[in-house]
Structure 1
Amino acid sequence: MTMNMTNTTTNALALRDPWALVPPIGNLDAYITAVNQIPMLTAEEESRLARELQQDGDVQAAGRLVLSHLRLVVSVSRQYLGYGLPQGDLIQEGNVGLMKAVKRFDPDQGVRLVSYALHWIKAEIHEYILKNWRMVKVATTKAQRKLFFNLRSMKQGLKDHAGDHETFRNTLTPDEVDVVARELNVKPEEVVEMETRLSGGDVALEPQTDDGEESYAPIAYLADDSQEPTRVLEGRSRDLMSSHGIQHALDKLDDRSRRIVEERWLKVNDDASGGMTLHELAAEYGVSAERIRQIEVAALKKMRKALETA
């Protein structure tokens, strides 16, 4: 008697305000309990409500169609808990797919809404998982998506079939790769690539702790400082100094000092032997090699001062 009264009250409330049956999504257990108590529609009721929505744009009819299938979304969401995402988020995305299905549902096609909506619910959940499971997308093409959502279960099936002696093997053998490729109609190399990508974990670029060697995170050695402003300015200054600065400093020298510096430091012959030696310059100017060295030292000192003031 009590159960019949409860069902009567629930049905009456659903007719008046169908959304009043659903508690706030904050309490997931209460939400799941509530949607499982919402009465299912008969085929005749479903067809009538769908026509009211299709022909008259009846929002109340749409609400009843959605509410009666919320339990389907909850059921589908449980299939994707292995991806580590909150079930509440999966349900929320699945509900979006359900509403899209209700909007497009045609009762004259001879198919129940539950069958039609299943595709839309899974499509929205799949899209959410692909966007949020990893920071880097792992599946963008149709073949990759097929592998992403089937490879894990197929690997487990192959492992179970292989027996206990294969329990600790994580990678697929070449024969198993071929089996998966044939089953999913993809290339074997795509199977290997997706297996590799799924087996790799995310790595934090920033250090997770501030002490010890553990603080040495990838950001420390992946950073490209070649375009860092200070480095850029230093490079420009160095390039300017090696061209205009050197020329300016050479202009401060007398002809003999300039030639000695050029021969000793700036001249490179085609045979890569460099310029003249101290003794060759000494013979040319009729002085000792020590005198040439002294002139060279004085000239370099003068050039250094010129460069500092340039």
Structure 2
Amino acid sequence: EFILRNWRIVKVATTKAQRKLFFNLRSQKKRLGWLNQDEANAIADDLGVETKTVFEMEGRLNAYDAAFDAGADDDDDTAYQAPAYYLEDNSMDPARVVESDNYEQDANDRLHQALDTLDDRSRAILQQRWLTEEKATLHELAAQYDVSAERIRQLEKSAMKKLKTAIGTDLVPA
């Protein structure tokens, strides 16, 4: 009984027929490798079990235990990657999804509140330079507002400074 319980991590033989095979199959097996159909039939008849049980027990005895979270082996020829390393899926970790959504929502709220504190011209310059798909150039904005490109750059820099103060430097590009 002790041998059955400690042979593998998972119990190998649970039924009476499997226990009988566990103790007798290895001694009945005369050659290395897998049993053929005739040999399995002979062993099944000899021990009074079904042939499929013989094949099943042979598979169990020839199998090895694989640790779920074991480290990789140092021998490159038999490199083994434990299932814990390739089965883990972090893409849909609920905590990370919620954290990401909360951060994005908070950042958007803070940005909109900070933009509302700017004057109309500074807000429009920032929106056209940073918050649109097609970014406006300094010269395009200068022509629009009838000022120099340098003045647009100064207004943009001043507006960015106000945004950094209002929402924190972690959300505003340098």
TM-score (norm: length of structure 2): 0.54
State which of 207, 212, 226 in structure 1 corresponds to 2:71: 207
Identify which of 76, 79, 83 aligns with 2:29: 79
2:56 counterpart residue number: 127
What SS does structure 2 have at the residue aligned with 1:304? helix
Q: Which of residues 111, 124, 129 is equivalent to 1:246?
A: 111
Cα shift at 1:288: 1.6
* 1:84-122 superposed Cα distances (whole Å, 9 cap, x missing partner): 9xxxxxxxxxxxxx8xxxxxxxxxxxxxxx47924x2x3
- Inter-partner Cα distance in structure 2 for 1:277 and 1:80: 85
Q: Which residue of 2 aligns with 1:293?
A: 153
**Alignment check: 8 A CA contact 2:141 2:149 kept:** yes
Q: Which residue of 2 aligns with 1:117?
A: 48
| C-alpha distance in 1 between matches for 2:93 and 2:31 | 44
Does the 8 Å contact 1:204/1:217 carry over to 2? Answer: no
Q: Number of aligned pairs?
A: 139
Q: Which consecutive residues of structure 2, in runs of 5 or more, have no partner in the other structure? A: 4-16, 35-43
Q: Is the 8 A contact 2:115 2:163 kept in 1?
A: yes
2:126 pairs with 1:261 = yes
State the Cα distance separating 1:291 from its structure 2 match.
1.4
Q: Conserved in 2, the CA contact under 8 Å of 1:260 and 1:296?
A: yes
Cα distance in 1 for partners of 2:156, 2:112 equals 17
Do 1:264 and 1:277's aligned partners in 2 also have CA atoms closer than 8 Å? yes
Alpha-carbon distance in 2 for matches of 1:217, 1:254:
62
Shift of 1:75: 5.6
Aligned to 1:34: none
- Partners in 2 of 1:242 and 1:129 — Cα distance? 61
Q: What displacement does 1:123 show?
A: 2.6
Change (3 A) 1:83 1:248: farther
Please, which of 66, 80, 102 is the counterpart of residue 237 of structure 1? 102
Q: Cα RMSD between the aligned structures?
A: 4.6
* Inter-partner Cα distance in structure 2 for 1:217 and 1:298: 58
Q: Distance in 2 between matches of 1:287 and 1:231?
A: 46
Cα deviation for residue 124 of structure 1 reads 2.5
**How many Å apart are 1:129 and its aligned residue?**
4.5
> How far 1:267 sits from its partner (Å)?
1.4
Q: Give the deviation of 1:265 after TM superposition.
A: 0.7
TM, length-normalised to structure 1: 0.34
Retained in 1: the 8 A contact 2:25–2:58?
Answer: no
User: How much does 1:278 deviate?
Assistant: 0.8
Displacement, 1:306?
2.7
Contact 1:249 1:303 in 2 (8 A): yes
Shift of the 250–81 alpha-carbon distance from structure 1 to 2, 3 Å rule, reads farther
- Offset at 1:128? 3.8
Asked if structure 2 preserves the Cα contact closer than 8 Å seen for 1:204 and 1:218, the reply is no
Aligned residue number for residue 140 of structure 2: 280
Q: Which has the higher contact order (CA 8 A, sep 6+)?
A: 2
SS at match of 1:267: coil
Q: Which residue of 2 aligns with 1:306?
A: 166
| Matches of 1:285 and 1:257, distance apart in 2 | 11
Identity %, equivalent residues: 33
Is the 2:118–2:159 Cα contact (8 Å) retained in structure 1?
Answer: yes
Is the helix fraction higher in 1 or 2?
Answer: 1
